[in-house]
Amino acid sequence: MKTKVLVSSLGESPAVVTETVDALEREEGIKINYVITVGTSALDVEASEEVLREEFSRLKIAYIPDHIQSEDLLTEEDHLEYLSKIAFHLRAYSPFADVYLSLAGGRKTMSAVMTIAAQIYGVKMLCHVVPLDKELERWGNVCIWENLPPSKRQYVLHPPPDKVCFVRLPLISLFPMLDDILKALRGEGDVNPQALELLEGSGLIARQKGRLEITPVGAQLLEVLSDIASLPQPCELRPDQKEVVIHDHGYAGKYDKVEQFARGLTLFPWTINVRTIEYGPKPRTHIRRVWDDGRVELEIKMTEFSAGIEVRTTAQTKAQAKRVAEELKKFLNLK
């Protein structure tokens, strides 16, 4: 059975994410295994991430928070970065999972950007949840979270079915046309006329003196799509199918902590397997070496333990290995 992944926008209300997880199981019979949220770097969003991290840990659902650098979606660059984040996750998890996309959290413009990503890369379902109770909606704001007793928090995170409306949204996927879209944006020949018509109608290419030229917005979209296309294919194994080998490197009573960290690396979409190696003297967590065959060596320095870890990825060239290493740094939240 395929893994079920929910990708959701996130703002000041963490409850819309848990409500979506509940609604998918209740309305569609879909039990989510992994949740990924994408928000801004605003403090309220970080607070929402903490609420979800605690709740999904309790529910034994893997949780991966992600966010853009800006604290708000204001500029064209902010929206393109957000598009890149959403598209990245759709591309990364689709090979081994059914991916569901929720528009329930964050700003309205996030929904528009997410719909574009869903059309380009495809998802199993596009959905939304709407709280039907104004009090419930108010309590769901993370700004007043600390003032709620534990019982009220659970009620807000998992309200009765009649307090929430689950909406399944229609979606037409353009994924079969992705190669033609990229060719057209690059100005290459032999492109499906439908792709040209679509891009011209969207203002991504325009006729200049009888020729089709890419527009500034089209150039920015091409940059996003090309960056994602530069990544190798993600591993098709589910995280629980990936091998983790912990050798005896003198971890003493910290073996379980090392194993837990290593298993967390199986959530990285390009991981094939993970094994421990000798660790060095560096005082911080960092990427020690990137091999041309796709192996990435990590030196992990945590409060509780130190370890050397090798992650074998799907990268097959030096360029791909470096690109995957960049994403691994983001995954580990390394500077």
**pLDDT profile of the chain (335 residues), mean per 10:** 93 95 97 95 94 94 92 88 92 91 88 90 93 88 90 94 94 87 89 90 87 89 89 90 88 83 93 92 87 94 86 95 92 79
**In a domain? residue 88:** yes
pLDDT score, position 7: 98
Residues 317 and 269 in one domain: yes
Domain count, the chain: 3
pTM, to two decimals: 0.86
**In a domain? residue 257:** yes
Structural domain harbouring 137: 3-169
Residues 161 and 277 in one domain: no
pLDDT score, position 335: 62
CA distances from 99 to 91, 206, 225 (A): 10, 33, 19
Last residue of a domain, one of 153, 169, 185: 169
> For the chain, how many helices (H) and strands (E)?
11, 13
Residues 219 and 139 in one domain: no
Residues 133 and 52 in one domain: yes
Last residue of a domain, one of 149, 169, 189: 169
Residues 40 and 140 in one domain: yes
Residues 282 and 306 in one domain: yes
Structure tokens at 199: 């891009």
DSSP per residue, 250-278: S-GGGHHHHHHHHHHGGGSTTEEEEEEE-
Residues 143 and 201 in one domain: no
**In a domain? residue 89:** yes
pLDDT score, position 137: 87
**In a domain? residue 234:** no
**What 3-state class would DSSP assign to 161?**
helix
